[in-house]
Amino acid sequence: MELTKEKAKKNLSKLIAKFEKELAAGRIKDYLEEATKISFIQPLLEDVLRASNGVGLESGNL
C-alpha cells in the first residue's frame, strides 16, 4: 500500500478524531493496554514504519 503525505495526514486525523470521540464519551478511561495498542498505537506506528521505509512518502515534513 502506497502511503502519500496526504493519506498519512488523513490517517492521523482519523486517529485523533476517534480519540477525541472516545474521550468525550468518557470511554477512554475504560481502555485497557491491549485495546489502546490496537485502536491507537498500532495504526500510528504502521504509518510511521511505512514512512521511515520510504514506501510512498515523498521527502519533507508531515
Q: What is the pLDDT of residue 34?
A: 95
Instruction: From 45, 36, 34, select the one nearest 12 (Cα to Cα).
Output: 45
Cell of 36: 489502546
25-60 pLDDT, tens per residue?
999 999 999 999 999 999 999 888 887 776 544 444
Q: How confident is the model at residue 62 (pLDDT cuts 50, 70, 90)?
A: very low
Domain range list for the chain: 5-52
Q: How confident is the model at residue 1 (pLDDT cuts 50, 70, 90)?
A: low
Q: What is the pLDDT of residue 49?
A: 86
Contact status, residue 40 vs residue 61, Cβ threshold 8 Å: no
Query: Once rounded to an integer, what is the mean pLDDT over residues 7-24?
Result: 95
The set of long-range contacts for 43-46, using a CB threshold of 8 Å and a minimum separation of 24, is 43/11, 43/15, 44/12, 44/15
In angstroms, rounded to a whole number, what is the distance separating the alpha carbons of residues 54 and 2? 10
